[in-house]
Chain A
Amino acid sequence: MAACRGKSLLTQQAWRFFQRNFSQTTPVAAQLTVRDALNAAIDEEIKRDPRVFLMGEEVAHYDGAYKVSKNLWKKHGDGRIIDTPITEMGFAGLAVGAAMAGLRPICEFMTFNFSMQAIDQVINSAAKTYYMSAGMVPVPIVFRGPNGSAVGVAAQHSQCFAAWYGHCPGLKVISPWSAEDCKGLLKSAIRDPNPVVFLENEVMYGQPFEMSEEAMSENFLLPIGKAKIERAGNHITLVAHSRLVGVCLDAAKELAGMGVECEVINMRTIRPMDEETIVKSVMKTNHLVTVEGGWPQFGVGAEICARIMEGPSFNYLDAPILRVTGADVPMPYAKTLEDNANPQAGNIIRSVKKSLNIK
């Protein structure tokens, strides 16, 4: 700005023109928060397909409790962005009905904790109808909202639903990590002809990520059911989803300093699970640690363990698979207790060392 002072208006305009063109021709990575990536995905899909609408508590006038739908109501109006009363069972059911009858609802739960009020509609109505009707009634709907442990909100507002929904045939379940994941997978979810549960992370909305020019485009889609290797390594595989992918990368960095090279897999989709990527990685590293925020029993990690046992990579393992999970307790409010109920990089490092038998 200071450099412009004193220049004629004409040269300033020319300079701006040059800048604009310059940034168009060179693929400078943009920074985008998870929130803005989700917002863009919804915005673009609503523009693209007249059947798509967003419905939920506080999504319109208030811009969303977590501001994910910021400006969308102003842009698209009452017909497409719809505030509901606090009646999860009612509006989830209504959205499922609308999907059966040809629309493409995005049904927001203010947080997934409240989806339990509506879980019958998600599972009994949305997930099973296509099967029950022998293919006559598809249910193209996205249930989305914040998931996972939040901060300082105690037991009823702090939990992960990946295993809950991952259990149920008929659903697709996505648990993205980065802004790129969020944008590409939410767009794919909205276009998918099936009911999709889309688990955003409650504490990651404000986190910025680099976005490639491709990811910024309106045509950017990521395939549902494919994991992504976020970091390649030969010594041990870490498989995680959502926020814990970032924690794995932190742990991997620290472990690299000790000469341990972790391969970090971002699952992206919980169901259908990309077994192949995990299996291939295990065949390469011979060691596996699963990492998730949810409870251990019948969890995502437990399922991965079972699949490895049943699959071709079992004989490649040099050590038992270890799980890093949330502690097996309801979430406490007090900070120290809460910190110890949520997995940290330390838990991952300790498990990696145990697996590799490093003292």
Chain B
Amino acid sequence: MLSAVRQRLLILPKSLLGSTYQANSYATEATFKTSPYKLHLLETGPSTEVTMTRDEGLQYYRQMQVIRRMETVAGNLYKAKAIRGFCHLYSGQEAVCTGMEAAITKEDAVITAYRAHGWTYVRGVSVHGVLAELTGRATGCTQGKGGSMHMYAKNFYGGNGIVGAQVPLGAGIAFALKYQKKNNVCLALYGDGAANQGQLFEAFNMSQLWKLPVIYICENNGYGMGTSAERASANTAYYKRGDYIPGIWVDGMDVLAVREATRFAKDYVLKNGPILIETATYRYSGHSMSDPGTSYRTREEIESVRGKRDPIFNLKEKLLSSGFSTEQDLKNIESDVRKEVDEASEKAKTDPELPLEELYNHIIVDPPSDMRVRGCDVTISAPTKG
């Protein structure tokens, strides 16, 4: 797997790795072989030989650990009734958002469905911003108005609850980017279940006609709720479902393969118009919190993915075998992450909710100054701000 390691002697300052640090020499850059891709309507695809620096590797590791821990904590907060409603966890799928974010810039746009916590984090919202949104607090990234399914950030358009609806929106964001002559792309993500919604194909057609800079991404985690991909889709080769739109199948558990495919795709769509990436991934949890996730798949299946394909373990092996870090370094990262997430969680539990008058704000932009909003009975009539 490790084909070349460029060794440079590197003495790290003690502060970087914490107190258990021992002077060591680390590799700073290495070349890796990614899992293979499958291509649709493409002569050449992304490279299977990629380089990763030590800094990048540790950053991806940290990000994925944060998301994994954040989702575990979210699950616990849910069980403790601090989170209400639906809560769709991203555990197992971390390499998708981490690898993709690594290949784009903050000026590129992203839109996804309700399984949005990981994406919200890599787009720049803090762990606290995510968790406080989940607990419905004013300090959440959408002030507690959106909750689990509706998180937003700069160039991150949510957090969308209606399966498939985000995909034409993504094409529209790409339309706006092109219209404004920006050299940026939009990533429009959807699931294997959403892949059958009619409006996807309407978006595919228009974006191909108009050569929009959109990367469609089907996060294929094998199931849409309790229905396996095979029971819902006449063709489960999702990377081919764009028909006339070129496609790439990528191992969504390999962060480097995801990153490379996204780099390739960004380059491609800026020159040619849309492309479609299918990331083969897996969700460890049930669909949402009320689904134990074991009636339509076996425990063995889940355990086997955890044991053999886990994206974090996958990267960990690379970091260790390339001489980027020691077991201890990674343990230190894990305990830092745990501390960060646990602190954020404590705060998310105790932060205040929005005051009641905020119920009536943000309904429309620039409301007329005398506009009042009716509450639940005739005695309630509230002023509103945009």
B85 touches A350 (CB 8 A): no
B226 touches A58 (CB 8 A): yes
From A151-159, A165-173, A217-225, give the one contacting chain B.
A151-159
Residue in B295, B358, B375 whose Cβ sees the most chain A Cβ within 10 Å: B375
For A333, give its contact among B145, B356, B375 (CB under 8 Å): B145
A56 to B259: give the CA distance in the assembly, Å. Answer: 37
Residues A317-353 near B (CB distance < 8 A): 322-330, 332-337, 340-344, 347-348, 350-351
A265 to chain B, nearest CB (A): 18
B376 touches A326 (CB 8 A): yes
For A334, give its contact among B194, B197, B227, B353 (CB under 8 Å): B353
A335 to B197: give the CA distance in the assembly, Å. Answer: 32
From B17-25, B99-107, B158-166, B331-339, give the one contacting chain A.
B158-166
A336 to B143: give the CA distance in the assembly, Å. Answer: 13
B374 touches A337 (CB 8 A): no
For B85, give its contact among A65, A153, A330, A351 (CB under 8 Å): A153
A78-92 CB mask vs B (1 if < 8 Å, else 0) is 000001011101100
Is A296 interfacial (CB 8 A cutoff)?
yes
A151 touches B137 (CB 8 A): no
User: With a CB–CB cut-off of 8 A, which chain A residues contact B163?
Assistant: 86, 114
Known interface pairs A332-B145, A334-B145, A347-B377; A86-B232 also in contact (CB < 8 Å): yes
B353 touches A296 (CB 8 A): no
Is A354 interfacial (CB 8 A cutoff)?
yes
A153 to B224: give the CA distance in the assembly, Å. Answer: 19
Known interface pairs A113-B162, A156-B150; A296-B137 also in contact (CB < 8 Å): no
Known interface pairs A153-B86, A333-B144; A86-B164 also in contact (CB < 8 Å): yes
User: Which single residue of chain A is at the shortest CB-CB distance from B149?
Assistant: A154
For B363, give its contact among A324, A329, A342, A343 (CB under 8 Å): A329
User: With a CB–CB cut-off of 8 A, which chain B residues contact A324?
Assistant: 376-377
B227 touches A340 (CB 8 A): no
B161 touches A157 (CB 8 A): yes
A26 to chain B, nearest CB (A): 39
User: With a CB–CB cut-off of 8 A, which chain B residues contact A323?
Assistant: 377-378
B359 touches A62 (CB 8 A): no
A60 to chain B, nearest CB (A): 9
B249-291 CB mask vs A (1 if < 8 Å, else 0) is 0000000000000000000000000000000000000000000
A62 touches B374 (CB 8 A): no
A282 to B37: give the CA distance in the assembly, Å. Answer: 71
A114 to B199: give the CA distance in the assembly, Å. Answer: 14
For B356, give its contact among A330, A336, A348 (CB under 8 Å): A336
Is A150 interfacial (CB 8 A cutoff)?
yes
User: Which single residue of chain B is at the shortest CB-CB distance from A328?
Assistant: B374
A243 to B233: give the CA distance in the assembly, Å. Answer: 37
B270 to chain A, nearest CB (A): 31
B144 touches A332 (CB 8 A): yes
For A327, give its contact among B136, B146, B224, B374 (CB under 8 Å): B374
Q: A85-B233, A334-B137 are in contact. List 9 more A-B contacts (CB 8 A).
A: A62-B227, A86-B232, A152-B83, A152-B85, A327-B360, A327-B380, A329-B360, A333-B148, A342-B376
Q: Can you give 28 A-B contacts (C-beta < 8 A)? A: A57-B225, A83-B232, A85-B196, A86-B164, A86-B232, A116-B162, A117-B164, A152-B85, A152-B86, A152-B147, A153-B147, A322-B377, A323-B378, A327-B359, A327-B374, A327-B375, A328-B375, A330-B363, A332-B144, A332-B359, A333-B145, A333-B147, A333-B150, A334-B353, A348-B377, A351-B377, A351-B378, A354-B378
Which B residues have a C-beta under 8 Å from some C-beta of A? 83-86, 136-137, 143-150, 160-165, 193-194, 196-199, 224-227, 231-233, 295-296, 353-354, 356, 358-360, 363, 373-380
